[in-house]
A and B are shown apart, each in its own frame.
Chain A
Amino acid sequence: MSETTTNATLFEQLGGEAAVDAAVDIFYRKVLADYRINRFFNGVDMDTQAAKQKAFLTMAFGGPANYSGKDMREGHARFVKMGLDDSHFDAVVENLEATLTELGVSQELIAQVAAIAETTRADVLGK
């Protein structure tokens, strides 16, 4: 990652779209391998799922994505019925942070990404 400059956006500092692609690949593998949450991913089309992960990470990276709270809410409603709760949300954020650490992103930027991800919690959990 390049040094922080005053004008660069978070998305630029993280490395833009190429960084999102690298992160999706690591992140999605982690999520699928995580026994705490992988049951929510059974039976969904993996290509569609990967595209959604990319949209989510693009947003969490502060990038150009139109991801509305309504989409988040509707998209996760059936998982809430399956028992999706805060512990699962925390596990996803943990995997996201681990992904960025693996990619050598600074703790300061990771905290910013986690903070954006956090803004979706209520919608994801249908609260």
Chain B
Amino acid sequence: MTRITFDDQTFVTKKDETVLHTLLRNNIQVPYGCKAGVCQSCLMRCLGNTPPPTSQVGLKDTQQKQNYFLACLCKPESDITVTLPNTESSWLEVEVIEKIELSTNVIFLKLKSKEPLAFFAGQFVNLRRNNDGVIRSYSIANIPNGLHELEFHIRILPNGQFSRWVADELEVGMQLSLSHAQGDCHYVEEKSEQPLLLIGTGTGLAPLFGIIKDALSHKHSGEIHLFHGSRNESGLYFENKLRELTQKYPNFHYTPCLSGENVSEKYAQGRANQIALEKFPKLNGWRIYLCGQPEMVLHTKRVAYLQGASLKEIYADAFTS
């Protein structure tokens, strides 16, 4: 007999009862489907402690790490607090401590929180402008450093309500609100020999850069291949930084790709996803991260799967604008 806390209410399980069953028996409406661990409709998250591994069967490694579980499979052995995915809604106040122009349409932003933050590089957060509450999602480009700092690459859209404001009005010292970090597009340290393929367009580089830093800081020993694509040179940034990393880490490889005309020989000519998928026709056993334009992400996910990658090892983050 254990206790389940959900939404500030506590319920006691009966013998051999699952979390889903206990909640439904108490008339708590949560999504569910097959009740057999197949459809994953009843995905929930355990707060504070880890759920039984048997309730995490079939979930992605990154979801398991974040204590997600399937309520229909979970017979808790000790008291647990559970929540539905992405319902934590507290906001943190953060201060702008650095703002740099990375290219004509990308701005680097560093924010600092007074309170500790829990996140993995590559996850995303919502940023909220305090005066009118406009919210946009951005991926985290750095690894936790103990200083409660977060780095972002903000793409300036011509009529972007939020991004234009970042470019024109936001200054060092100003305050923003920040949501908790979400998403499963991040590094996991368990499989350090696994080859990694990272493909990003534009500021899709932000999460990928964070993931690469995370992998290298964990001494990832497998090959790491980054393909960063843009139409023309102005869309690429961090080029020197990334070339330096290839000098320092022999297993890290960087291919900047330009799909426009008259491409200098410093770059591969063509779309980043096509160049990468042609170079690696067999992706069995690879871990793949895709970030950027939604069409590129969806298409590449399918092709990577058909070229042998396991769906559970493809992490995709489609950027909408």
A residues with CB within 8 A of B: 25, 28-29, 32-33, 43, 46-47, 50-52, 54-55, 58, 64-67
Segment at the A interface, from B5-13, B31-39, B211-219, B250-258: B31-39
Cβ–Cβ contact A32 & B36, under 8 A: no
Segment at the A interface, from B130-138, B230-238, B301-309: B301-309
Q: 15 A-B residue contacts at CB 8 Å?
A: A25-B310, A29-B305, A32-B306, A33-B306, A46-B311, A50-B311, A51-B38, A51-B40, A52-B39, A54-B38, A55-B34, A58-B38, A65-B38, A66-B35, A67-B34
Nearest CB in chain A: distance from B38 CB, A: 5
A32–B309 CA distance with the chains assembled, in angstroms: 14
- A interface footprint on B281-321 (CB within 8 Å = 1, 0 otherwise): 00000000000000000100110011000110010000000
Q: List A contacts of B311 (CB < 8 A).
A: 28, 46-47, 50
Cβ–Cβ contact A46 & B38, under 8 A: no
A47–B309 CA distance with the chains assembled, in angstroms: 13
Cβ–Cβ contact A65 & B306, under 8 A: no
Q: List A contacts of B302 (CB < 8 A).
A: 32, 46
Q: Please list the 6 inter-chain residue pairs (A to B) with the smallest Cβ-Cβ separation, ordered nearest first.
A: A55-B38, A64-B36, A66-B34, A51-B40, A54-B38, A50-B311
Q: List B contacts of A50 (CB < 8 A).
A: 311
Interface centre among B35, B39, B301, B305 (most CB of A within 10 A): B39
B residues with CB within 8 A of A: 33-36, 38-40, 298, 301-302, 305-306, 310-311, 314
A43–B33 CA distance with the chains assembled, in angstroms: 22
Q: List A contacts of B34 (CB < 8 A).
A: 55, 65-67
Interface centre among B33, B38, B39, B311 (most CB of A within 10 A): B38
| Residue in B33, B39, B298, B306 whose CB lies within 8 Å of A29 | B306
A66–B40 CA distance with the chains assembled, in angstroms: 13
Cβ–Cβ contact A58 & B36, under 8 A: yes
Q: List B contacts of A29 (CB < 8 A).
A: 305-306
A51–B311 CA distance with the chains assembled, in angstroms: 11
Add 15 more A-B contacts to A29-B305, A51-B38, A54-B39 (CB < 8 A).
Answer: A29-B306, A32-B305, A43-B298, A46-B301, A46-B311, A46-B314, A51-B39, A54-B38, A55-B33, A55-B38, A55-B39, A64-B36, A65-B38, A66-B33, A66-B34
Q: List B contacts of A47 (CB < 8 A).
A: 311
Nearest CB in chain A: distance from B56 CB, A: 15
Nearest CB in chain A: distance from B124 CB, A: 17
Nearest CB in chain B: distance from A74 CB, A: 13
A47–B310 CA distance with the chains assembled, in angstroms: 11
Q: List B contacts of A65 (CB < 8 A).
A: 34, 36, 38
Q: List B contacts of A28 (CB < 8 A).
A: 305, 311
A45's closest neighbor in chain B, by CB? Answer: B298
Q: List A contacts of B40 (CB < 8 A).
A: 51
